[in-house]
Amino acid sequence: MNRKGRLIALGICAAIGAAFAVPSIVGADAPVPLARNAYAVSGFKVSPEGKQARSIVPTNSKGKFPLRTMDLSQVPWGTTVTGVVGIEFTNPTNCGSSPAFTYSATSRACQNSYGAGVSFPLQLPKPLRAAKVGILGGLNENGDCAGSFDKPSAPPGFLCVYPGNTGSAAEYFDKSEADIFNISKNGDGAYAVEVYPLTGNASKHGFRITAQGAIAGAAKFYGTWAYTAPTKEIPLTESAS
């Protein structure tokens, strides 16, 4: 329907005749006037005037349902959520030769490895598998993670982490443009950083990150992450409305 040239989407316009429409502004809970010949939509009783049944939910002007109609107890199926992951610490020792240090399994004995946890904004609809976790340019890189630090993305069911901007050894630690500073790398040039899910059903709530420092002194690692919930297939016996 149209009011002063502005299209008002009702989300049920496909089921009513536009020729019989009356002007209205869609509100979250306000009465929603429908077409004068509207008495049923998908089997639900409706009224041409006044409040509609709770099963009939009008969309906004952009064709989106209001938040009150969504289940916010978990990440909706097929939806992508993003966030920031970071850790700052101080290396107590220099395990290698200054100024560079290369990560190795034995270097963990130098106590330059630190970790942190990250919470998802909502519970995931299903547990996160280690095979579907990856960090670009890190120890557990995953080829399915094709986003970037500025535009994090993830395929359905995946958690992907993207490292930030690198600060060189010559920069001060508090340089604002340096998201990564004094983090060691392995022989292939990958950051000594690993991301992995929490154990079992706890993986629905968050993930872990570990970072290996290089030489003695301050170190930090920041990046962005993206998770996309799998697409849920609706059974034929389940209503899609």
Using the 3D structure, point to which of 48, 69, 90 is the last residue of a domain.
69
Residues 113 and 189 placed together within one structural domain of the fold: yes
Residues 102 and 1 placed together within one structural domain of the fold: no
Mean pLDDT for 3-11 is 42
The residue with greater pLDDT, 185 or 42, is 185
* Tokens 């709770």 found at: 54
Instruction: Return the top range by mean pLDDT from 41-45, 76-80, 123-127, 231-235.
Output: 123-127
Rounded to the nearest integer, the mean pLDDT of the chain is 74
Instruction: Return the top range by mean pLDDT from 79-83, 99-103, 105-109.
Output: 79-83
**Spatial distance between the Cα atoms of 62 and 69, rounded to a whole number of angstroms:** 15
Q: Is the pLDDT of residue 234 over 90?
A: no
Q: Which long-range contacts (CB under 8 A, 24 or more apart) does 119-122 make?
A: 119/205, 119/206, 120/75, 120/81, 120/83, 120/204, 120/205, 120/206, 120/207, 120/227, 121/75, 121/81, 121/83, 122/72, 122/73, 122/74, 122/75, 122/81
**Spatial distance between the Cα atoms of 107 and 92, rounded to a whole number of angstroms:** 13
What pTM was estimated for this model as a whole?
0.66
**φ, ψ at 105 (rounded to 5°):** -60, -35
Q: What percent of the chain has pLDDT over 90?
A: 39
240 in a structural domain: no
Residue 41's domain comprises 1-69
Q: Is the pLDDT of residue 144 over 60?
A: yes
